[in-house]
Structure 1
Amino acid sequence: MIFDWNRCCAVAEVRELSGDSAVTLPGPGLWAGILSSGRCQAEGTGGYDAAGASGDLLLCGGAVTLSPIEDCHLLAVRLTGLAADAFAANLDRPRFADGALCPGAAELLARLCDAHPADTAEQSQRAYALLCELSHADEAIRRLSPLVAEAVAAIRDNYIGLYGVEELSRQLGVSKCHLVRTFSAEMGVSPGKYLTATRIEAAKLLLLEREYSLDMIAALCGFSSANYLCRVFRRETGQSPAAWRDSNAPGPSVRLPNRSNEIYL
């Protein structure tokens, strides 16, 4: 064998935290997870801890204990191998990072967890792709102002029923112009584009479930119709939803968390 992907990065374990019971994730390796709903606290060796909320990414080198602050759902994988060990070595404590910095991480995590325990070169390549995506999750990269942080949270929590930026600005008690200017300056995209991207990522995860029709996906992701979903999806990805599903679905269905208060990135 010329190159062994498993030595570089491999999925060693998949764990899920759901509800209000604490769970300990053992080491060694790198734990990477997505907190899709609720809030929880992560405690690592040495007494270091961090708190995360819906939409945050968990990163921890070695064992970590997760204690829900409220009912929550977290899906996590333990990665091993040379690349994963190098990543974990730079984590002196558990941390939750802004999931907006790594928009593809949730999808990669879902696909890795769904395919486990298949130990293939393809899975290891996906695990390495996840590491590359998580390299943007430095919590020091972006510190959001209270207004933008509130806007991001509102979009994540209400993307299904949110009509647009005007409604969002009214909810936040600011003018549309001020919200667009401030949000764009801090996030690099307008709130309207961020809302669309959030809906597209939600649609991608639902497309991995063969049982969902386009009409149902459109309704669950805040699009007015299946036709509108198709137009926006093609504009944003260059593919129709059906073509994207055929080229990305890994086989068996991806298990999705409860839709109550959840977030897709």
Structure 2
Amino acid sequence: MIFDANALCRAGELLDHRGSAPVRLSAGLWLACLSHGRCGVQGGREGPLLLEPGCLLLTSEALVLCPTLPCRLAGVRFAGALADQVAAALDGTVAEDGGRCPGAADALALLASGRAAPSPSFCFDLLCRAARLDEAPPRVAPLAAQAMAAIRKNYASLYGVDELAAALGVSKGHLVRSFKAAAGITPGRYLTSVRVEAAKQLLRSTDAPLDLVASLAGFSCANYLCRVFKAETGCTPAAWRAAPGPGDGAPALPMDEIYV
């Protein structure tokens, strides 16, 4: 029996929208990200929604996206058996901070703009990440929750805990103590883990060079990425990229070239 990757997960339709015109999403499993502007969502069972910059939208419903400010939207409609399973399990439409899925917004932008080819492996990895959006996040102390959200949203550009504490209006010491009491780790350690996770997703889903992966994940250079990645995962970025991806034991699928 020959394994058909396209039957499992593929891109059925791509969205790359700029401007103020309404956008109609056909019925099917869509993942979209709003990178700029603001956008209303109409037609879902939950009623109207408003997307802010950085939001991810996961839906299996036919929707109309109505920009209230000029928008940049990137998205993909998944097709295949896995997409059908996720759509069947999804309860309506989910709109969440894109920081809950590190790397998803970057992957969508690459895919929609044509800088990454919509290979089955790229779509499979992206869909596996997106499927976690409807999981309820654990409750944590307000300051720690704000810090986590800020880290997930700004991990690529955040210089460190000092900048994070200043942005939240608290001292570094107070932030570190509160964060560790709530999460069991320091905010610096959490920032590193988010960056490593973003790097893992980019390595698995694209053929981008290490310098670009490092930049997108928030590391200063490829050498620093390699050192931290090895310390965190026990393997090099190259070894992680070459290893079979997560899933049901199917063979690793070839990656398409990414143009930057």
Q: Taking structure 2 as the reference length, what is the TM-score of the superposition?
A: 0.69
In 2: Cα distance, 1:37 partner to 1:152 partner: 22
Deviation at 1:60, TM superposition (A): 0.9
Aligned residues: 245
Q: Secondary structure at the match of 1:195?
A: helix
In the other structure, the counterpart of 2:26 is 26
Matches within 5 A, 1:190-209: 190-200=186-196, 201=198, 205=202, 208-209=207-208
Does 1:252 pair with 2:233?
no
Task: Determine helix, strand or coil for the equivalent of 1:136.
Answer: helix
- What's the secondary structure of 2:132's corresponding residue? coil
Aligned to 2:117: 115
TM-score computed with the length of structure 1 as normaliser: 0.68
In structure 1, the gaps of 5 or more residues are: 256-265
In the aligned structure 2, how far is the partner of 1:53 from the partner of 1:88?
24
Alpha-carbon deviation of 1:65?
1.7
CA contact (8 A) 1:36 1:74 kept: yes
Q: Which residue of 2 aligns with 1:102?
A: 101
Give 2:133's aligned amino acid. Answer: A
Q: Deviations over 1:171-197 (max 9, x none)?
A: 312233442344456667542133224
Is the Cα–Cα contact under 8 Å of residues 32 and 59 in structure 1 kept in the other structure?
Answer: yes
RMSD: 4.0
Give me the identity figure in percent. 46
1:262 corresponds to: none
1:141 lines up with 2:143 in the alignment: no
Q: Which runs of 5+ in 2 are unaligned?
A: 246-253
Distance 1:242 1:2 in 2: 28
Cα-to-partner distance string for 1:87-124 (whole Å, 9 max, x where unaligned): 223445322124344346456656766323x6xxxx1x
Distance 1:139 1:17, change over 3 A: farther
Change (3 A) 1:189 1:7: farther
Higher mean C-alpha displacement, 98-107 vs 60-69: 98-107
Question: Given the superposition, is the C-alpha separation of residues 157 and 188 from structure 1 closer, same or farther in structure 2, using an over 3 Å criterion?
Answer: same
Aligned to 1:180: 176
Looking at structure 1, the residues matched to 73 and 38 of structure 2 have their Cα atoms a distance apart, in angstroms, of 9
Shift in Å, 1:253: 1.8
The runs of at least 4 aligned residues of structure 1 exceeding 6 Å deviation read: 245-249
